[in-house]
Amino acid sequence: MEQRITTRRRFDRLRSSASQWQKAAIGLFALSLAVNMSNIACIRRLVLKVSEMQEQVRQAEHIRDLAVRELGAVSLASALERQARAEQAAAYEAVGAWEYIGECVITAYCPCGECCGRWADGVTASGLPAGPGIVAVDPEVIPLGSTVIIDGQQYLAADTGVTGQAVDLCMESHASALAFGRSRQSVWIEVPGHD
Q: pLDDT by residue (tens digit) across 25-59?
A: 677 777 777 777 777 777 788 878 888 888 888 99
Q: Contact 127/102 with Cβ under 8 angstroms?
A: no
SS3 category, 159: strand
- Which residues of the chain, if any, have pLDDT below 70? 1-5, 11-12, 14, 18, 25, 88-96, 192-195
How crowded is the C-beta side of 11, counted as CA atoms within 13 Å? 6
* pLDDT score recorded for residue 93: 62
